[in-house]
Amino acid sequence: MQNKGFVKVFAVLLTLVCVFYLSFSFVTRHYTNKAKEIANGDPKVEQDYLDSLSNEKVWLGNWTLKQCREMEISLGLDLKGGMNVILEVSVPDVIKALADNKPDEAFNNALAEAAKQAVNSQDDIITLFVREYHKAAPNAKLSELFATQQLKDKVNQKSSDAEVEKVLRAEVKAAVENSYNVLRTRIDRFGVVQPNIQSLEDKMGRIMVELPGIKEPERVRKLLQGSANLEFWETYTAKEVLPAMQSADAKLRAVLAQETGADSTAVDSTKEAPLAEATPAKKSVSAADSLAAALKGDATTTEDNSTANLAEIKKQYPLLAILQLNSSGQGPVIGYANYKDTADINKYLAMPEVKAELPKDLRLKWGVSPSEFDKKGQTFELYAIKSTERNGKAPLEGDVVTDAKDDFDQHGKPSVSMSMNTDGARRWAQLTKQNIGRSIAIVLDNYVYSAPNVSTEITGGNSIITGNFSPEQSKDLANVLKSGKMPAPAHIVQEDIVGPSLGQESINAGIFSFVVALILLMIYMCAMYGFIPGMIANGALILNFFFTLGILSSFQAALTMSGIAGMVLSLGMAVD
């Protein structure tokens, strides 16, 4: 047999690849079962245990539990239950924004008619719009509408209609990609395991989202349909806010003591100092981390004592016990907290009595990503935002950004270049001039994505943002900046919800049918060809099933009811 050695090597390599990808499912199942044993029926304790291991390397010293869960064989919505949503980005709104919302009657009528026809037409909305505009204004050129400041480098008065149409398609595609990136970030923050998000190429402006295991569909609807709100804010430095945070902690102690009917006693100021001097590195002894360590069964005596004293510490310092202040006083980050404590901190800071202790123009917002100081990825930063406008809005919003892209600076380090329109350039120059030596926070959906320090006044509207970025982080920041480029709200046009009980019934039925088919085939092969030849063929069947699952897992394909049926049919075909 020719190439026999190649076949053997290929078979061994394929087996190793399949074992590797299938191993993630076994690792995940091991820790899930362990969490259930520890929780003893308490879903909160079970989730706390899994969360505590989420960013710890649990497999081969290289993959975290979170990564293992993402790499395991995922179940489709028909098996696991969940929510399937198709969202549509408003392409007419994007086209209006590209034309600077011109009041031209022919333009608006053509766009409205195209939107109506798009419901039943095979053509996309841009094709329909161009056709209707030519009917409404036969002698007009598209460049008269779209030779705007926003498209100054792409469309001019001499551009042909074909060139303008090509630009429109590219801009609409970019708007859909921006919406896709915003949705991806929101869903990741929601905590869904193995979501499936993809743009539907055959339907312009449509994005499909599959969310397994969702139990709060109304909350998901609000999350997905909210329009992206990109803002640029001035900031406080930590040292300007730390005294107010200590006063807020003292006020909170008095308020909570009143509510519980306990006596409120004054605390010596020397006892407050150590808390104020806490650093991010000490975040590991927070309540959540102590709980996680106790659940894992490897907590040290010191951590046990810390957990035992935590209730008393929280009575004395209800806010600062869970929010570790930035003692350096540098930068806009005023404190650090475990993600499990952020809800309590938000609740405390929203109390009227506590807010009265803070500056009226102070807005506190969380960073979107874990702090780089915490390798486990469980500590988040709290930023001090300064509201300087009378209306309470940001001094600059994302609609002035015309373009942003990830790049490299003169030293070869990842950076982000950003350009603004004329109005944005003027306001950006004023904003940077007033904040030399301070940070300006880039905020999307009320979460801080970056807070670069201003070294000099930036004129002309072109900026370069540098920092300790990885290439992936610079690309993400560029996508965030582009998300505010134009108003492109997404609306749900189709929604399906599958209950978990129906999914479990499908799993049971699929497994039962597969096992029955496999047993019958094995009996048939032994009866037809004899025991030994039949068992050899049966071994080949099992290998076929193993390779099928391994290859599907390597592509991170979702296993559905129809997929199980396909594998049952493949067993029948494989006997040949």
User: What pTM was computed for the model?
Assistant: 0.69
**pLDDT per residue as tens digits for the range 117-153:** 988 888 889 999 999 999 999 889 999 999 887 787 7
Beta strands in 438-507 (DSSP E): 440-444, 447-450, 462-466, 490-498
Residue 527 Ramachandran class (φ > 0 left, ψ -120 to 50 alpha, else beta):
alpha
Higher pLDDT, 247 or 476: 247
Sole residue written with tokens 């007009």? 140
Q: Which of 178-182, 216-220, 270-274 has the lowest mean pLDDT?
A: 270-274
- For residues 409-416, give the mean pLDDT: 85
**pLDDT per residue as tens digits for the range 188-235:** 777 676 788 888 877 778 888 888 877 677 878 877 876 677 899 999
- Give CA angle at 377 (372, 383), nearest 5°: 55
205: nearest Cα among 395, 486, 458: 486
Write out the two tokens for 88: 């549509």
SS3 track for 328-368? CCCCCEEEEEEHHHHHHHHHHHCCHHHHCCCCCCEEEEEEC
Predicted confidence at residue 502, as pLDDT, reads 60
**pLDDT per residue as tens digits for the range 340-380:** 899 999 999 999 999 999 999 999 999 988 888 887 788 99
The C-alpha atoms of residue 21 and residue 199 are separated, in whole angstroms, by 26
Predicted confidence at residue 325, as pLDDT, reads 94
Identify the H or E element spanning 86: strand 82-89
Which residues does residue 208 pair with via DSSP β-bridges, in sequence order? 86, 198
- For residues 1-8, give the mean pLDDT: 75
- For residues 421-444, give the mean pLDDT: 92
The C-alpha atoms of residue 490 and residue 225 are separated, in whole angstroms, by 6
Q: Decide if 294 contacts 304 (C-beta within 8 A).
A: yes
The C-alpha atoms of residue 422 and residue 69 are separated, in whole angstroms, by 47
Residue 14 CA neighbour count, 13 Å, CB half: 14
Q: Which of 173-187, 280-294, 478-492 has the lowest mean pLDDT?
A: 280-294
Considering only CA atoms, give the Rg of the chain: 29
CB count within 10 Å of CB 543 equals 14
Higher pLDDT, 537 or 336: 336
- For residues 406-413, give the mean pLDDT: 84
> Cα dist. 504→79, 178, 216, 280, 507 in Å?
6, 36, 19, 44, 5
Give the CA-trace dihedral at 342, 344, 350, 354, to 10 degrees.
-110
pLDDT at 567 over 90: no
The C-alpha atoms of residue 299 and residue 297 are separated, in whole angstroms, by 6
Beta strands in 286-424 (DSSP E): 324-325, 333-338, 362-366, 379-386, 396-397, 401-408, 414-420
Kindly report each contact of residues 269-272 with a partner whose C-beta sits within 8 Å and lies 24 or more positions away, as own/partner: 271/316, 272/246, 272/317, 272/320
